[in-house]
Amino acid sequence: MGVPRQQVSRNRQTIINTASRAFRERGVEAAGVADLMKEAGFTHGGFYNHFPSKDALAAETVESTFRWAVGEHRKLVEATANGQPEALQAGLNAYLSPEGRDNPGDECPTGTLAVDAARQGGAVQAAYAKGFEDVLRVMALHFDPDPQDEPAAEKSRDDAIALLITLVGGITLARALGQANPTLSERVLAVARKRLPGRDQPPKSPLKKG
Amino acid sequence: MGVPRQQVSRNRQTIINTASRAFRERGVEAAGVADLMKEAGFTHGGFYNHFPSKDALAAETVESTFRWAVGEHRKLVEATANGQPEALQAGLNAYLSPEGRDNPGDECPTGTLAVDAARQGGAVQAAYAKGFEDVLRVMALHFDPDPQDEPAAEKSRDDAIALLITLVGGITLARALGQANPTLSERVLAVARKRLPGRDQPPKSPLKKG
DNA sequence: TGTACATCAGTGAACGCGCGTTCACTGATGTAC
DNA sequence: TGTACATCAGTGAACGCGCGTTCACTGATGTAC
C-alpha cells in the first residue's frame, strides 16, 4: 500500500485542516482542489483517494471547523463562569479587532462560511446549520447556564442569537471595508464591540464591561 | 454602426441591471460574463464593446446598485420624518423577513455584496466602501437629522453603523441557514427585527415599536 | 518467522468543460461633402 | 436634400487557462499461508 494506515488518516486530516484555513480565507469556490493538495504537500491526483468530491470535502471541512470552534467557545464560556470573568469578553473583542478581521483563517467559521453556506447549499449548508446550532447552544449556556423553564431557555437562546448577529454583522462589514476604508472598518469594529449584546446588562448576563 | 446611440446606452444599462441582480443573487464570481449577456438578451462577444473587463463591470455595477439603494433608503427616512413614522421600520422589517431573505436580487447590496467586496478587493471593494459610506450618511440622518456638534454627528453615525451591523448580521445568518434549518433561520430574523438598534430608544430616535 | 501476493495511497499526465477574453466579420447608423 | 464613406455595437467562433475529475501506474504495506 505504500503508506501506513496511520499516516493515511493523518494525511486525510492534513487535507481537511488545509482546506479549513483556505475556505475561511478565500471561500470554498475560490480554493481549488489542486491548490489545496499542493498546500497540504501532495499532488492533486490523490485527492480522490480520500474524498468522493470537492463538495464532500467542503461539507466535512465545515463540520470539522465548527467542531474546533465550538470547543474554543466552550473553553471561553467555562473560563468566564469559573473565575475568569473577562475571558469571553476578551475573546469577542479579539474577534472584533483588526487582527481578527485580517486573519479569517484563524477565526470562527460562523462569519466566514456563512456566505458559502448560503450560496453552495446542499451538504455544505447542512453542515453549517448543524455547526451554527452547536455554537448557539454553547453561547446560550453563557447567558443562562441552567434555565429553569422553557421561556428562560428561549430567552438565553435569543440572547445568543443576538450576540452572533452582532459578531457576524460586524466582522463581515469590517472585512468588506478593510483595504478601501481602514478607518471606517475600525469604526465598525469599535461599534460592534461596544454594542455587543450582553454588555451593560443586569443580573443574568455575566458579561463584563471591558 | 448598426445600433442607434441611444439604444447603445440603453443596452449598456441593461447589462448593468442584469449584473446587479445576478451579483446579489449568486455572487460576483459565480455570475459569468456569458450568462449575464445571455440574460440581458445579447451574445457574449459584445460585452467588451461596453466594458474593458468583468472587474470593471463589477465595480460599476456595485456603484450603480448602491446609487439605487441609497435613493430607496432616503425615501424611507424622509417618509419617516414626514408623517409616516412607521415607514423605515416597515422597510427594515421587510428586509429582515423570509421574503427579503429569499430575494437578495431585489434587496440592499450592503449585505449581499459585502463578501464579494472583501474577497474581490480592488475597484469592487472601493465601490462598495463608497456605497456603504453613502448608505451610512442617509441612515445617520434618521437618527439625528441635524446634529448640533461633532459628538452628536458621531453618535448618529455610530447609531447608523450599529443598525447596519444588525441588518447585515441578521440577513447573512438567515440566508446561511435558509434551506437547512428554516425554523432557526426565521428565529434569527425575528431576533434581528426585535433587537434593531433604534427600537425602544428615547427622544432622538424616531424609530417606532412595530 | 518467512515468503508470496493483494491492496491501495500517492504520482503525474490527461480529460472535458466553462471561464474571461480576443477577433474577424456584419451592416445600419452617423458624418462629411 | 442626396450620396459616399467611416464608424462601431452586436454576432459567433475561437483562444488559452484553470477547474473538478479520471486514470494507468508505482511500490511499500498489510495479509494469507
Quick: pLDDT tens for B36-68: 999 999 999 999 999 999 999 999 999 999 999
Three cell numbers at A208?
A: 463584563
Q: Which helix (H) or strand (E) holds B77?
A: helix B54-81
- Scanning every strand, the nucleotide with its C1' closest to A52's CA turns out to be D21
CB contact under 8 Å between A180 and B27, yes or no, is no
Taking the C-alpha atoms of residue A134 and residue A138, their distance in angstroms, rounded to an integer, is 6
pLDDT at B2 (0 to 100): 82
> Around Cβ A185, how many Cβ atoms within 10 Å?
22
For residue A33, CA distances in Å to A73, A120, B95 come to 30, 16, 36
The three state secondary structure string of B125-148 is HHHHHHHHHHHHHHHHHHHCCCCC
Q: At what angle do helices A150-177 and A182-194 cross, to 10 degrees?
A: 170
Three cell numbers at B63?
A: 456603484
Looking at CA atoms only, how far is residue B134 from chain A in angstroms?
Answer: 12
Q: Which residues pair with B197 in a beta bridge?
A: B199
Q: Does B153 touch chain A (CB under 8 A)?
A: no
Q: Classify B131 in phi/psi space as left (phi over 0), alpha (psi -120 to 50) or beta.
A: alpha
Helix %, strand %, coil % of chain B (to 5): 75, 0, 25
CB contact under 8 Å between B113 and A168, yes or no, is no
pLDDT at B206 (0 to 100): 35
CB contact under 8 Å between A195 and B162, yes or no, is yes
CB contact under 8 Å between A166 and B167, yes or no, is no
Taking contacts as CB-CB distances below 8 angstroms, the residues of chain B near A195 are: 162, 165, 197
Q: Mind listing the pLDDT tens digit for each residue in A78-126?
A: 999 999 999 999 999 999 999 999 999 999 999 999 999 999 989 999 9
Q: What is the DSSP string of A96-132?
A: TSHHHHH-GGGS-HHHHTHHHHHHH-HHHHHHHHHHH
A residues 61-100 near B, CB within 8 Å? none
Taking contacts as CB-CB distances below 8 angstroms, the residues of chain B near A173 are: 110, 114, 132, 164-165, 168
CB contact under 8 Å between B177 and A132, yes or no, is yes
Cell numbers 499542493: residue: A38
Distance from the Cα of residue A207 to its chain's centroid = 20
pLDDT at A2 (0 to 100): 82
Mean pLDDT per segment of 10 residues, for chain A of length 210 residues? 89 98 97 97 96 98 98 98 96 98 98 97 97 98 97 98 98 96 98 86 36
Cell numbers 491548490: residue: A35
- Scanning every strand, the nucleotide with its C1' closest to B7's CA turns out to be D9
Task: Verify if strand C has an atom below 7 Å from the CB of B39.
Answer: no
pLDDT at A202 (0 to 100): 39
> Around Cβ B48, how many Cβ atoms within 10 Å?
12
Taking contacts as CB-CB distances below 8 angstroms, the residues of chain B near A27 are: 115, 119
pLDDT at A210 (0 to 100): 28
Which stretches in chain B have pLDDT values below 50? 201-210
Q: Does A29 touch chain B (CB under 8 A)?
A: yes
Taking the C-alpha atoms of residue B162 and residue B156, their distance in angstroms, rounded to an integer, is 10
Taking contacts as CB-CB distances below 8 angstroms, the residues of chain B near A130 are: 180
> Around Cβ B42, how many Cβ atoms within 10 Å?
17
